[in-house]
Structure 1
Amino acid sequence: MSEAKAVFESMLGRFDADEADDMEAVFQFDLDDADNYHLIIADGKCVMVEGENDDPTVTLSMDLDTLKEVMSGELDGMAAFMQGKIRAEGDIMLSTKLTQIFPL
């Protein structure tokens, strides 16, 4: 299993269906140094798919280390965005809910 896939697998294990209750969204993760993945959230479920989605709700671009640091709580996502470590396109406000949907 790739390191990137392992990060997304751990996120799926922490998925909080209550937080994502009415959400329908596609989070595209474009990783500079690893395979791209997207997470589809709908009907209180989350599915991980390798590759790119044609119509993501929000696209987050970063390197794998940044993703790992944000999802482990070592780095605040908003701080990473402000430092230019994360680039976002689309519904940027939605990306601020990632840590609620995938709590530590």
Structure 2
Amino acid sequence: MTTVSQVFDEMKNRLTPEKAQKINASYFFDIGGDNGGKWSVDLTKGDNWVTEGEPSDPAQCTIFVKKAEDWVALAAGKMNPTMAFMQGKIKVKGNMSLALKLQSLLS
């Protein structure tokens, strides 16, 4: 089974300077449950976009996911992000339009 950490490692490997520049935003992911964690994705920097832990500056968009397995399912495309949001499995704080760009981060 894929872990939360693996999802962020894959994100690191897929991000390109072009993609980072296109999104040009900062995210904070707070993933709950067993094997969850806190991750920062700062696409306003030149490199080293994905780091474990809380950001040093407030993120423009914070994503809360109650269960680690829901985050993994979202990343794998097995869960619809809109439905997950409507069902309360995901909460978004900050810039909602950045949350809508999340799929491009995961693919």
TM range (shorter): 0.7 to 0.9
Moved more, 19-28 or 82-91: 19-28
Unaligned runs of 5+ in 2: none
Q: Does residue 23 of the first structure (1) align with residue 23 of the second (2)? A: yes
Q: Percent identity?
A: 26
Aligned length: 101
1:89 positional shift? 0.1
Secondary structure of the 2:27 match is strand
Aligned counterparts of 2:52 and 2:45: Cα–Cα separation in 1: 20
Counterpart residue number, 1:49: 51
Amino acid aligned to 2:91: R
Assess, with a 3 A threshold, how the Cα gap between structure 1 residues 67 and 78 changes in structure 2: closer, same or farther. Answer: same
* Cα drift, residue 16 of structure 1: 5.4
* Among candidates 34, 38, 41, match of residue 39 of structure 1: 41
Tell me the amino acid that sits aligned with residue 9 of structure 1. D
SS in 1 for 2:21: coil
Quick check: which one's helix share is greater? 2
C-alpha distance in structure 2 between counterparts of 1:86 and 1:94, whole Å: 14
AA at the equivalent of 1:57 = Q
TM superposition score normalised by structure 1: 0.82
RMSD: 1.9
Report the Cα offset of residue 21 of structure 1.
3.2
Please report the TM-score for the alignment, with normalisation by the length of structure 2: 0.80
